[in-house]
């Protein structure tokens, strides 16, 4: 049994998916979290799978993410649909519900956020709603992870049956068009209901035409034009889409009036969001407040006096350096492993991996705090505050969600651009998102800030992030004035209500990201540390030689002069940057292995060179996973090559400018 999970963005769809499948897909209190299908087994049901589709307001696709929904409904084999509905926004959510019910497929209506609705003083009569919509309905609160709610949904699915497709009383002109198109499609081998296809075509769903032959497509388009003209001549509405929308709106209003019942007067709760938003999204104060909040986040994560993360990392560093590495070396002596082999294990593997893991506490705290901001709904407000500002630089409004995602990882951020319908705007966003500092670069920042800028940790960290954002904005502006000139579309983003984030959810999100970080330490970073140590200790003259005679010194030494103007033209620094193409976390382990620890790094860089190195590392070539994702999402070798060359040039120029400025001041 296969069930499709469909609903508007930000209705708790991913949360519901997690509770019903015992999985852990990303959950966020803003739209755009799900951009591709996810499939997992439904608990409490045998041989049943749930397919999580991207959030959409309409079956007719306006972007690649919504196109996945249309494709799944038309082409895939499934036994029913679960339509998750935000109970607190019933009227708006029912527009998609009507489109799904007109399909005539067994559908379960899951009314989520019943607790939030009750807090607003309302409840929904599910019996009346089922009667109006001819579909089973159940009210739950997915974020509470209540087994009783889950059993209730599973039970409804097990007894889910097909009702007759809901049929609204559309204007005669629309009915005439539906019948004409139905007759043209009668003998086509299409799996879904022909009248539903006809209505979708009249509504403007262009995705359906890809399944029709050219001759029939032209005949159908002629019918659409005739219906449009009849709607205008009969003064039914200002457009064909308007005629369909108005009919649905009137029906939905009738349903809401009958089914939404006020049980308590709670006027104060309705205005809470507005009162808070007057401050947080204020035209003048909104952006400064955001920067102040982020500065506080960085201070708690990386700061000196109030930096909880720093104290934890220092403790972890002490345990790793003074106990794990020391006692590992002694244990190897006891079992007879000495010399070259012991150096590989202790100075290569343990030092390389430990040099990155030491920053794990700070990164976990940062992830936790960001998850709190996201879970409350504040990040969606940030998108609104930044919209007009970003639009000046050529960004599509929907670029904001991928940009926010980019602070975690660039790969899902690039995939999140599927919500952008305009192709040029999407490519512009893909090419500029890598300048946003992802979490993989944090170990680089933390180590250099601790060594060279300890007194101003939070401010320097915020400054590095702001420089990356500035480079992204300037690049976007340059692109929008050249190749991408003329692209533009409206920005629509649902503002969710403020919610108290669940400790369980945000803790899991932080730990899950930490788990991925540790996994990288056990794979990419471990392998990279071993390879680098071996290359640094093997050369033309043999093994266990001086590092300046090694293969790594010879290879990287040929490239190193390129970075001499930036103050770090050594083969060690060059080698670490080359290894960063594999994964940005490997940069730190490379530096520790090649320089013999943080003391060696501190001695090898001046303050100006350290700042130039950090800025270059924050902006230069994306990791190999990101480059592969750019190739996949753009389908272009040219843009993929550009995504490698352009950041390198920009990073070089930015690092050079700051190196020269700091060199003059110092």
Cα-based distances in Å from 334 to 323, 325, 328, 344, 350: 16, 14, 10, 16, 18
29 or 355, higher pLDDT = 355
DSSP label of 561: G
Please say if the pLDDT value at position 130 is more than 60: yes
Q: Which of 207, 204, 244, 195 is nearest to 224 (CA)?
A: 204
Question: If you average pLDDT over residues 419-442, what whole number do you get?
Answer: 84
Helix (H, G, I), strand (E, B), or coil: what is residue 646?
helix
Please say if the pLDDT value at position 29 is more than 50: no
Q: How many CA atoms lie within 13 A of 474 on its CB side?
A: 11
Question: Cα–chain-centroid distance for residue 613?
Answer: 28
pLDDT of residue 400: 72
CB 588 within 8 A of CB 447: yes
Please say if the pLDDT value at position 264 is more than 60: yes
CB 529 within 8 A of CB 536: no
Task: Dump pLDDT digits (tens) for 575-605.
Answer: 989 888 877 878 888 888 888 888 899 999 9
Task: Dump pLDDT digits (tens) for 206-263.
Answer: 777 776 766 678 888 899 999 999 999 988 888 898 899 999 999 999 999 999 988 8
pLDDT band at 493, cuts 50/70/90?
Answer: low
Four-point Cα dihedral 192, 195, 197, 200, nearest 10: -140
Domain 2-158 fold is Rossmann fold (3.40.50)
CATH 3.40.50.300 occupies which residues in the chain?
2-158
Q: What is the DSSP secondary-structure string of 198-244?
A: HHHHHHT-GGGGGGS-HHHHHHHHHHHHHHHHHHHHTTS-SSHHHHH
Helix (H, G, I), strand (E, B), or coil: what is residue 27?
coil
Q: How far apart are CA 269 and CA 413, in angstroms?
A: 34
Question: If you average pLDDT over residues 361-373, what whole number do you get?
Answer: 80
DSSP label of 320: I
Task: Dump pLDDT digits (tens) for 85-99.
Answer: 999 889 989 999 999
> For the chain, how far is it from start to end, CA to CA, in angstroms?
69
Helix (H, G, I), strand (E, B), or coil: what is residue 11?
coil
Helix (H, G, I), strand (E, B), or coil: what is residue 262?
strand
pLDDT of residue 656: 95
- Sorted by sequence, the CB contacts under 8 Å of residue 308 that are 6+ apart come out as 300, 301, 365
Question: If you average pLDDT over residues 266-293, what whole number do you get?
Answer: 73
Q: How far apart are CA 579 and CA 584, in angstroms?
A: 8
Domain 172-262 has CATH 1.10.287.1770: yes
Q: How far apart are CA 418 and CA 396, in angstroms?
A: 12
Q: How far apart are CA 36 and CA 26, in angstroms?
A: 12
pLDDT band at 35, cuts 50/70/90?
Answer: very low
pLDDT of residue 612: 95
For residue 539, give both structure tokens. 């050369």
CATH 1.10.287.1770 occupies which residues in the chain?
172-262
């Amino acid at each position: 049994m296969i069930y499709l999970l469909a609903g508007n963005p930000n209705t708790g769809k991913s949360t519901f998916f997690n509770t019903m499948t015992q999985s852990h897909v990303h959950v966020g209190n803003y739209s755009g979290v799900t951009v591709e299908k996810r499939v997992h087994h439904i608990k409490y049901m045998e041989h049943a799978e749930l397919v999580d589709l991207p959030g959409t307001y309409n079956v007719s696709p306006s972007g690649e993410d919504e196109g996945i929904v249309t494709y799944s409904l038309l082409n895939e084999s499934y036994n029913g649909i679960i339509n998750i509905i935000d109970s607190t926004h019933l009227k708006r959510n029912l527009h998609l519900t009507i489109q799904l019910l007109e399909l005539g497929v067994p559908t379960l209506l899951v009314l989520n956020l019943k607790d939030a609705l009750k807090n607003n003083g309302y409840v929904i009569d599910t019996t009346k709603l089922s009667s109006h919509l001819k579909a089973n309905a159940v009210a739950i609160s997915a974020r509470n992870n209540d087994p009783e709610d889950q059993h209730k949904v599973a039970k409804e699915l097990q007894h889910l049956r097909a009702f007759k497709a809901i049929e609204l009383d559309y204007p005669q002109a629309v009915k005439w068009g539906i019948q004409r198109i139905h007759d043209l499609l009668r003998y086509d081998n299409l799996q879904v209901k022909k009248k539903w296809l006809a209505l979708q075509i009249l509504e403007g769903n262009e995705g359906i035409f890809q399944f029709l032959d050219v001759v029939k497509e032209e005949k159908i388009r002629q019918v659409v034009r005739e219906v449009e003209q009849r709607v205008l001549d009969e003064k039914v509405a200002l457009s064909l889409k308007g005629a369909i929308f108005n009919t649905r709106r009137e029906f939905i209003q009738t349903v809401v009036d009958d089914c939404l019942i006020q049980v308590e007067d709670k006027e104060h709760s309705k205005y809470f969001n507005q009162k808070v938003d007057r401050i947080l999204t204020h035209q003048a104060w909104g952006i400064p407040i955001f920067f102040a909040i982020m500065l506080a986040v960085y201070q708690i994560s990386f700061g000196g006096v109030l930096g909880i993360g720093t104290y934890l990392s220092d403790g972890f560093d002490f345990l790793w350096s003074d106990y794990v590495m020391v006692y590992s070396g002694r244990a190897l002596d006891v079992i007879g492993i000495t010399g070259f082999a012991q150096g590989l294990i202790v100075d290569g593997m343990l030092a390389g991996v430990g040099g990155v893991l030491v920053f794990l506490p700070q990164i976990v705290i940062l992830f936790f705090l960001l998850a709190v901001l996201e879970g409350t709904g504040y990040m969606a407000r940030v998108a609104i505050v930044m919209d007009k500002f970003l639009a000046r630089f050529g960004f599509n409004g929907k670029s904001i969600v991928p940009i926010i995602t980019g602070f975690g990882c660039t790969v899902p951020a690039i995939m999140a651009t599927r919500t952008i319908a305009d192709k040029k705007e999407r490519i512009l966003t893909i090419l500029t998102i890598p300048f946003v500092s992802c979490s993989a670069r944090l170990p680089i920042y933390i180590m250099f800030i601790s060594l060279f800028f300890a007194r101003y940790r939070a401010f320097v960290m915020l400054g590095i992030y702001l420089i990356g954002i500035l480079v992204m904005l300037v690049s976007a502006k340059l692109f929008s004035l050249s190749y991408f000139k003329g692209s533009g579309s409206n920005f629509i983003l649902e503002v969710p209500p403020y919610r108290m984030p669940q400790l369980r959810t945000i803790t899991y999100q932080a730990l899950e990201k930490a788990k991925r970080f540790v996994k990288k330490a056990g794979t990419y970073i471990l392998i990279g540390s071993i390879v680098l140590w071996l290359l640094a200790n093997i050369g033309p003259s043999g093994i266990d030689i001086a590092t300046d005679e090694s293969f790594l010194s010879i290879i990287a030494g040929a490239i190193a002069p390129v970075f001499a103007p930036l103050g770090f033209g050594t083969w060690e620094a060059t080698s670490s940057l080359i290894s960063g193409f594999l994964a940005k976390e490997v940069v730190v382990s490379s530096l520790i292995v090649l320089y013999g620890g943080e003391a060696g790094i501190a001695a090898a860089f001046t303050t100006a060179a350290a700042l130039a190195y950090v800025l270059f590392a924050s902006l230069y070539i994306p990791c190999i996973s990101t480059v592969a994702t750019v190739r996949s999402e753009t389908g272009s070798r040219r843009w993929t090559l550009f995504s490698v060359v352009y950041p390198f040039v920009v990073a070089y120029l930015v690092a050079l400018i700051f190196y020269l400025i700091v060199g003059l001041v110092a």
